[in-house]
Chain A
Amino acid sequence: MAVCGRAKICAGQVKGRALRKYASILASLMLLAIAGYVAVHQKNKEIAVTDGGEKPPGLGGFSRSADCARLPQFLGRLKIPQPVLIDLSQKRYTGIALHYGQNYEQTLHPEAWEKYEHFGTYTLNERGDIYLSPTPFISVRPTTFDLQKNIYKLDTKTGALSALMHIDDVRPSASNPYGIISLAYDCEDRTLWVSAIDETDYQSQKGVIYHIDPGAKKILQTVEGFDALTVLLLRTGKGKFLLAGSARDNALYAYAVADGAVSPRRLKLLELPTVNEHIRKIKIAGDNHLELQAIPFSYTLLAQSASRDRTYYDAKWDVAASKWKLEKRE
């Protein structure tokens, strides 16, 4: 063991003192390095999922539990028996039509239901009101772009069709004729989740998901930067999620919803095998089982609504393996 004289400070002592002096700074730097590494690693992991990583995030199990949706009350008044088929295909009827009876051969379609032209999706609330999203179809008329800015409501008692809410920020144009395009009703807090894709252009995705209180006609929250061609609420063992089929790519995404608010972080759940397919409808088909309907979509007008242009997939969630199994229906 070396002994240092009084007049002569040995190198080891200097090192020790300096270390003690700067120990707190070094500790801070080390702490930051670890925190930085974890942050970068975790975030890249997140991006990898967003970009199509192999392991999708854990969703938890889900089932086709009864939701609050009820059919309109005016059907009872008109003595129209259930089941009733809501027709937005725009093939024979503009707007909305309701089919009923044997083989759905009878149709309810007052002329007033054509007033706002074409609809793309609907959702029902616990009273039986039908909320509708617009869609441009085949050709553009002078009124078409304005109609894409509204959320519509078919009143449960009167059957009157009206524009429930007008969103000024939605601005369709000749270079993107779409506006509000999809909606889903949240039974828990009686709100609507509405997607719009109007401002998106070729370079960038600028779609908005609005969280709306339909009673107060108020926007509660917006999530920007994603084009959802369809939205659906899903309650799972791990919480509530807003599922969204992308208009931009062939994937299904999820946003976690907690305390009535959606997390801006978007998680990619799965990807369809064909690049030109976009998920237009999502249905909970059974336990841990989604039915996905896909269409070709390129932000141009839909000229064909033929069934041969639609593809159906069964997406089954393996809870234990945290894995989706995707099968195309023949």
Chain B
Amino acid sequence: MSKETKTSIAILVTGLLLIALYWFAPEKTAQKKQGSITVEEKIILPKNAPEVYQDIPEVQSYIKDIREMVNRGEAVLPLQGRELDDRAQKAQEILLKDQEFLKDTMQDGRILHNDMMRILPAIVSTLDAGAKQICQPHACYQAEKYNFVTNVTTRAIVDVRNARVLSVQRYQNMQPDISLRLARIARAIALNAPEVKQELGAKPSVTDVSMANVRGALQESPCENSAHLCVAPVFADHSKERALWAIVDLTELKLVAAKWTRLGKTTTPARISERSLQNRYIMENFCQKNTLLERNGWKLFYRLTGSDGLEVIDASYRGRPVLASAKIVDWHVSYQQEGAGQLDTTTEAYMEGRRVEFVQAGDGTYFFGYNDAMGCPMFSTSVVLPFNAPQIKKLNNGFMLIQDYRNPKWPMACNYRYENRFEFFDDGSFRVAGVNIGRGCGDNAFYRPLMRIDMALGGKEKFYKYEGKWEQWKQERMDDSRDAAFHEDGRYLYKITSGADGSRGYYIEPNRGQFQDASRGDNARVFATKFQTGEGEQDLLTLGSCCDLDQDGVERYLEDSASIDGENIVLWYVPRVHNDAREGHEYCWADTAIGDNGNPFVKEWPCVVGPKFVPVK
């Protein structure tokens, strides 16, 4: 065999082996491809309040027209003349007087905002037999309107020649193709969105944007879990083979999210939704890594945990460590009811799909409820999920870091909304706060957020309670702040200091309604425990009973009564809030109402709880 033949056989065998290796490694290749998509995709969530869109001329004129329409006692904003031919114009006139078509435009005497979306010649082949017979010789028109309050699309067939409405059908939770006017408004919102301008590097022009995703059929909307009317105008950047999709909520007239994608088949509008973009953005930026925040002398990191809400870690003020960790582990929710004698607790009970725990009180009443964990939107044990990313807001004398958590259908019954809030002030003081914005399953509810606060005052700390003078706690214990007879300076009930330097530390000022936020006080129980591994330094699963008001769950950490004199102390602060649904006295409550413009809005009565920490002078 010649040398050349041997070489050719070797080449052939090696090559075939390499091809076989390549062929049998399918997953790797596919993942690589998916990975490259992930790298290229960038998600942008809005940082500006929706009010920035109110000044856009198209939006202003639309809002004005809606207000005038409602003032006239009408509920459907008609299509403008240029969107209609003569017969369509006539069809619109017929429909705007038709009782069946207008049947869903009022609720409890209030007008609900509707828009006529389009009126086009009916496609006869899609009609039922009866309509077909009429529409073959006559001109029939198909009209669609959308109810912004109920999220219902109504479709009607009109025989224009005989001025008759042939059929009216309603489609729950479906959105129609939008009118040209709304398409212009969506385009204007996208063009004027500060986030879009920032991404594109300049204010885009109207020719840069296309509305490729205006729907041709009834489909689910990509925002607010398909409960709002939304569209996604797109800005294509052909030179870089990428496109910026901007999701615009036409129910609330604002940008809700944007996303860079590759240009191509695999990134269609159907795959874009506000929820999925929010989830990915939050996971990648706040669940997978810590974020540094430096402001007003404060330096801290924050992150979203799996089930313990927003956590602030390693906070320092002017270079001196203050906090190792602060977070809200759980919200215990319990409702008090009469009739403990008739209570059957032999089987588990559920309310709106949630498992309910029952605890009998001694006075013939019983408590039922559950524990709500807040956490990352994916890969976690939380049931109340983050809504939008953490926000930083200015205060008069400092700033606050907040994270909003909601059940998707809040403020409907048995859906909850909690805010984790950390306020940092310019004088080195700070506040750990929990905010409840209802609505829950009803009144007579007790909410107990479990706050875990681990100070960083040198590792060896001392804890005091003010009882006319400062008394040190030598061992782990619990205290009910409601029983307090004295407060230092009329404000401070507890104090935590460095073990090495008693002048370095913080007074703890329970909220008794003095923080001018309409709070009715914390009524908190306070626990001081020695730092132990496995006692909350990592994600804690549900701690304790939702409904035994004598037990907050932290009691288990007091069992060995460990010394806390000069130890790393963990402070557990558990406020107790009673909600109120009485008209004029609402507290920890939310309700939906119809506004003057025929659109729904949520009335909120938040309750804010949590202590303030003030540096020892």
Contact = CB atoms under 8 A, between A and B. Distances in A.
A139 B16 contact: no
A27 B8 contact: yes
B380 A175 contact: yes
Interface string B259-277: 0000001100011110110
A303 B276 contact: no
B256 to A, nearest CB: 15
A28 B12 contact: yes
Interface string A229-243: 000000000000000
A37 to B, nearest CB: 10
Interface string A284-316: 000000000000001111011110000000000
Contacts of A305: 353
Interface in A28-82: 28-29, 31-32, 35-36, 39-40, 43, 46-47, 50-52, 54
Interface residues of B, number: 63
Given A27-B8, A32-B12, A274 B270 contact: yes
Interface stretch (A4-12, A90-98, A147-155, A208-216): A90-98
Interface in B12-47: 12, 15-16, 19, 22-23, 26-27, 29-31, 33-34
B383 A39 contact: no
B354 A28 contact: no
A276 B276 contact: yes
B23 A43 contact: yes
A211 to B, nearest CB: 18
Interface of A is mostly: loop
Interface stretch (A17-25, A160-168, A188-196): A17-25
Interface string B365-402: 00000110101111111110100000000000000000
Interface in B256-297: 265-266, 270-273, 275-276, 279, 283-284, 287-288
A174 B306 contact: yes
Interface in B170-188: 171
Interface stretch (B119-127, B344-352, B436-444): B344-352
A35 B379 contact: no
Interface residues of A, number: 55
Contacts of A29: 11
B272 A275 contact: yes
A139 B347 contact: no
Contact of B33 (A47, A176, A330): A47
Interface string A198-212: 001110100000000
A29 B14 CA distance: 11
Contact of B4 (A25, A32, A176): A25
A21 B539 CA distance: 72
A264 B22 CA distance: 15
Contacts of A122: none
A93 B349 CA distance: 8
B4 A35 contact: no
A140 to B, nearest CB: 5
B381 A140 contact: yes
Contact of A275 (B270, B348, B370): B270
A24 B383 contact: no
A174 B30 contact: no
A90 B11 CA distance: 63
A330 B174 CA distance: 10
Contacts of B375: 300
Contacts of A54: 265
Best-buried of A46, A54, A300, A305 by chain B (most CB within 10 Å): A300
Nearest to A311: B220
B347 A300 contact: no
A159 interface: no
A138 B407 CA distance: 13
Best-buried of B30, B225, B283, B288 by chain A (most CB within 10 Å): B30
Nearest to B24: A264
B460 to A, nearest CB: 31
A22 B271 CA distance: 54
B595 to A, nearest CB: 26
Nearest to B174: A330
A6 to B, nearest CB: 26
Contact of B353 (A32, A114, A304): A304
A137 interface: yes
B383 A139 contact: yes
Nearest to A205: B31
A329 interface: no
B26 A301 contact: no
Contact of A298 (B11, B33, B377): B377
B593 interface: no
A114 B346 CA distance: 12
Contacts of A276: 225, 273, 275-276
A260 interface: no
A298 B26 contact: no
B546 to A, nearest CB: 9
Contact of A175 (B23, B272, B379): B379
Contacts of A24: 4-5, 7-8
A39 B18 CA distance: 11
B347 A140 contact: no
A32 B15 contact: yes
Interface string B185-222: 00000000000000000000000000000000001100
Q: Can you list the 10 inter-chain pairs with the closest CB atoms, starting with the nearest? A: A32-B15, A303-B383, A24-B8, A28-B8, A304-B353, A298-B378, A305-B353, A28-B12, A25-B8, A299-B379
7 contacts: A31-B15, A35-B16, A138-B370, A139-B381, A274-B273, A275-B271, A300-B377
Interface of A: 21-22, 24-25, 27-29, 31-32, 35-36, 39-40, 43, 46-47, 50-52, 54, 90-94, 114, 136-140, 174-177, 200-202, 204, 225, 264-265, 273-276, 298-301, 303-306, 330
Interface of B: 4-5, 7-9, 11-12, 15-16, 19, 22-23, 26-27, 29-31, 33-34, 171, 219-220, 225-226, 265-266, 270-273, 275-276, 279, 283-284, 287-288, 306-307, 347-348, 350, 352-355, 370-371, 373, 375-383, 385, 407, 539, 541-542
